[in-house]
Amino acid sequence: GIDGSSLGVLEGHLGNSAARLAVAADGTLFAGVYDGTIRVWSEGEHVRTLIGHTDVVMALMLDTHGKLYSSSADHTVRVWSTADGTHLSTLHGHGGRVFSLALGLDGTVYSGSEESSHWL
């Protein structure tokens, strides 16, 4: 809580701890995991697992249009629907692990990777 106490523990990562987290306005929690999956939690319950990345999820970002962006050590950025977990697209182009994602004020999505390239 706000006083530093734990609000709870989300079980179910099967030995793979969460690498990155994103929280939607409705409280839905997205956890990027070392096995390349994204676990989705609502009200403390695991509701789905997003499968697509083939390596560690490095970053997660939510936009204001119901999309979740995930980047990975597999050199890709994936786009998902936050409503139902549908995989919408995979963005290729980086030559290395994609470490960061950012959302510009105009809605542009930026990504940065270890080979010093930045995409938008």
Q: Which of 55-64, 88-97, 110-119 has the lowest mean pLDDT?
A: 110-119
The answer to whether residue 34 scores a pLDDT higher than 60 is: yes
Across 34-39, average pLDDT: 94
Closest by CA position to 72, among listed 39, 100, 108: 100
d(CA 76, CA 93): 7
79 band by pLDDT with thresholds 50, 70 and 90: very high
pTM of the model: 0.84
The answer to whether residue 5 scores a pLDDT higher than 50 is: no
Closest by CA position to 13, among listed 27, 34, 28: 34
The answer to whether residue 30 scores a pLDDT higher than 70 is: yes
Q: What is the pLDDT of residue 38?
A: 96
Q: What letter would DSSP give residue 93?
A: -
pLDDT digits (tens, 9 = 90+) for 82-111: 999 999 999 998 889 999 999 999 989 999
The answer to whether residue 20 scores a pLDDT higher than 90 is: no
The answer to whether residue 120 scores a pLDDT higher than 80 is: no
